[in-house]
Amino acid sequence: MKKIAISIGDLNGIGLEIALRAHDEVKKLCQPIYCINENMLGWGAALLGLDVPLDFEIRDCGKVFEIEAGVCSAEAGESSYDSFITAVALAKSNEVSGIVTLPINKESWAMAGLEYKGHTDALSDLLGCEAIMMLGCEEMFTILYTHHIPLCDVPHEVKAKKLKPFLLKVYEELGEDKIAVLGLNPHAGDNGVIGDEEEEIKKAIAKANHFFRA
């Protein structure tokens, strides 16, 4: 059974409760290693009125701080980041096959002085390659071209020059013969009636397809 590192998320949030309540189901799928300070685990479980399972394997990391449910704090942000980078380190050293990240609080990360908006851009930096965010299930996956930027900035990012390499990367990673590309505007712009960003998307698709036909 594969080992998976699980970053515990924000201890002022719901991450630890998810980990404790879901443990019996998770261990049927993998051998989880939870990245959390041992003292914080015991204290957090006590506050939740939950027992720590005997087979709850951890990788001790992070500092002790006062847990305050629902409160944003620099200490909580730093703790959740420490948990995350510990999980990443386990993956980079091949001690685990992958990582799972429980919810962080982006405001707490900012309060801790972290430059990252979330896991995705942090992974890009830590691994030295562009991380791609994907949402979905077995029936359908949706891959996000932009993430963690204001909605008003998205149209400025839709340029064929930037979109083409993204499409090529998605194709190389998925290996699917056909990949549907969503438009930006309602009705995909209706040929310029509702925005012209789709012209850039069409150019990117044509250039990407030409690359593989060449």
CB 63 within 8 A of CB 78: yes
For residues 173 and 184, membership in a common domain is answered with yes
Domain of 162, in residue numbers: 132-214
Res. 210 pLDDT band, cuts 50 70 90: confident
pLDDT in tens, 141-175: 899 998 888 999 999 999 999 999 999 999 988 88
pLDDT at 214: 59
For residues 112 and 146, membership in a common domain is answered with no
- What is the average per-residue pLDDT within 6-10? 97
For residues 115 and 143, membership in a common domain is answered with no
pLDDT in tens, 83-94: 999 999 999 999
55: tokens are: 């087979």
Strand pairing partners for 195? 192
pLDDT at 103: 96
CB 81 within 8 A of CB 7: no
pLDDT at 117: 86
For residues 195 and 184, membership in a common domain is answered with yes
For residues 79 and 165, membership in a common domain is answered with no
CA 132, 137, 141, 144 torsion-angle sign: negative
The domain boundary, picked from 131, 147, 176, lies at 131
For residues 34 and 117, membership in a common domain is answered with yes
Could you tell me the CATH number of the domain that includes residue 123? 3.40.718.10
For residues 94 and 73, membership in a common domain is answered with yes
For residues 104 and 17, membership in a common domain is answered with yes
The domain boundary, picked from 131, 166, 201, lies at 131
pLDDT at 84: 97
For residues 171 and 150, membership in a common domain is answered with yes
Helix ranges (DSSP H) in the chain: 15-26, 38-48, 74-92, 106-111, 119-127, 154-157, 160-174, 197-213
pLDDT in tens, 104-136: 999 999 999 999 988 988 988 888 887 788 888
For residues 138 and 117, membership in a common domain is answered with no
For residues 19 and 101, membership in a common domain is answered with yes
- What is the domain count for the chain? 2
The domain boundary, picked from 85, 116, 131, lies at 131
User: What 3-state DSSP class applies to 35?
Assistant: strand
What pTM value is reported for the model? 0.83
For residues 44 and 126, membership in a common domain is answered with yes
pLDDT in tens, 36-94: 999 999 999 999 999 999 999 999 999 999 999 999 999 999 999 999 999 999 999 99
